[in-house]
């Protein structure tokens, strides 16, 4: 048996970064609300600027659909996914929870071939290998957290209109909405750049 250890020294993020004085530089995609940005500016004595996109957005935002109850919610998503997949597109369904992913997968399996449905709910389960490439008529169902930082290769579906993305929940704040949009744009921009640089 060993004795319990205690941390005797602790340095907060704020304390750590202020040690560097005016030699602090960095980039971030989403910093949060105006108040959060102001805190960063005040604490770290940095200027914050918004750098505009260098390329035109490569996506089309469709009108939002709001469901009244869980049954309508499931039906709307499954119909949208199946309709778009019939056009040979790949589908990415972004969910808030693992339970939502599983519920949607079960609903889709009632009407769609199971082999085309891929789940990506946890980063630590090697599931990302299943979703590195999306082929025509495949459906990826992922949690928002699991999908962060994952690049899906869409070469096989570009000629059919690319990736159709369904977000199954209303993000709780503007920062999360921006992160979702940026994730979708980054994936499409990376494919766009790859094709342009060939």
Statement to judge: residues 78 and 161 lie in one domain: yes
Structural domain total, the chain: 2
Statement to judge: residues 94 and 157 lie in one domain: yes
Task: Check which CATH number belongs to the domain holding 187 and give it.
Answer: 3.40.50.300
Residue 31's closest CA among 53, 18, 54, 48? 48
Listed in sequence order, the residues at least 6 apart from 190 whose beta carbon sits closer than 8 Å to its beta carbon are 151
User: Is 138 inside a domain boundary?
Assistant: yes
pLDDT over 60 (residue 142): yes
Supply the pTM of this predicted model: 0.68
pLDDT 10s digits, 169-184: 887 777 677 766 666 6
For 25, the domain range is 1-51
Statement to judge: residues 40 and 124 lie in one domain: no
Q: What is the pLDDT of residue 33?
A: 74
Q: How far apart are CA 96 and CA 67, in angstroms?
A: 16
Listed in sequence order, the residues at least 6 apart from 168 whose beta carbon sits closer than 8 Å to its beta carbon are 73, 77, 93, 94, 95, 96, 100, 104
Statement to judge: residues 75 and 134 lie in one domain: yes
């Amino acid at each position: 048996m060993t004795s319990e250890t205690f941390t005797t020294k602790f340095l907060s993020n704020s304390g750590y970064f202020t040690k560097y004085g005016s030699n602090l530089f960095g980039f971030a995609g989403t910093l949060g609300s105006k108040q959060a940005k102001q805190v960063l500016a005040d604490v770290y004595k940095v200027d914050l600027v918004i750098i505009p996109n260098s390329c035109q957005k490569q996506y089309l935002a469709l009108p939002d659909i709001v469901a009244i109850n869980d049954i309508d919610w499931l039906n709307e998503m499954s119909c949208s996914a199946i309709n778009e997949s019939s056009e040979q597109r790949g589908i990415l369904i972004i969910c808030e929870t693992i339970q939502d992913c599983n519920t949607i997968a079960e609903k889709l399996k009632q009407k769609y071939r199971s082999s085309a449905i891929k789940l990506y709910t946890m980063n630590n389960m090697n599931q990302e290998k299943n979703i590195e490439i999306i082929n025509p008529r495949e459906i990826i169902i992922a949690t928002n957290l699991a999908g962060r930082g994952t690049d899906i290769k869409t070469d096989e579906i570009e000629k059919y209109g690319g990736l159709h993305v369904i977000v199954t929940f209303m993000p709780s704040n503007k920062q999360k909405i921006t992160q979702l949009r940026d994730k979708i744009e980054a994936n499409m921009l990376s494919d766009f750049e790859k094709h342009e640089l060939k």
